[in-house]
């Protein structure tokens, strides 16, 4: 049983597997919603925090790579800038777990000028909020499904 909780933590920490998938699946499996939410939040938060802290190195590497290739701005970058201009960091962070992923959102925000401190704060708020919503919704949603059967 402990290994299942370890797996929840690890899966939530993987950038392309988000809490929006991990939490409902773990609760469907029968794991306790509180611990699923806490471990999912913690796993995802640790990797987002590492990304934020190491972002300067990544950005320097990317700039050196761009200088060599003389690459122009992509349409994806332009789209991200429009989202940023319309909703800012709070909107980007709150939409991230369901729409684009927390790691990608943190990167977009920092590429567009968000400070590490604010990126960390808003991603923490978003992860805590969505972990709670997903755990509560999954738990009571399963209870409702069992009730109507």
pLDDT value for 72: 61
Q: How many structural domains is the chain composed of?
A: 1
Question: Mind listing the pLDDT tens digit for each residue in 101-124?
Answer: 899 889 889 988 899 999 999 999
pLDDT value for 29: 94
Mean pLDDT over the full length of the chain: 88
Cα angle, residue 80 at apex, residues 54 and 67 outer, rounded to 5° = 60
Residue 107 lies in a domain: yes
Residue 68 lies in a domain: no
Residue 141 lies in a domain: yes
> Does the pLDDT at position 76 exceed 60?
no
pTM comes to: 0.82
Distance CA 12, CA 26 (A): 11
The domain in which residue 20 lies consists of 2-62+74-148
> Does the pLDDT at position 69 exceed 90?
no
Residue 78 lies in a domain: yes
């Amino acid at each position: 049983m402990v290994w299942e909780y370890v797996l929840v933590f690890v899966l939530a920490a993987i950038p392309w597997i988000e809490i929006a998938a991990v939490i409902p699946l773990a609760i469907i499996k029968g794991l306790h919603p509180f611990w699923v939410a806490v471990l999912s939040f913690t796993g995802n938060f640790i990797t987002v925090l590492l990304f934020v802290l190491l972002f300067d190195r990544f950005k320097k590497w990317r700039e050196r790579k761009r200088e060599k290739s003389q690459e122009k701005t992509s349409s994806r970058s332009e789209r991200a800038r429009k989202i940023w201009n319309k909703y800012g960091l709070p909107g980007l962070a709150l939409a991230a777990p369901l729409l684009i992923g927390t790691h990608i959102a943190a990167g977009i925000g920092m590429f567009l000028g968000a400070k590490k401190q604010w990126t960390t704060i808003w991603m923490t708020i978003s992860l805590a909020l969505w972990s709670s919503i997903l755990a509560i919704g999954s738990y009571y949603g399963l209870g409702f499904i069992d009730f109507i059967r």
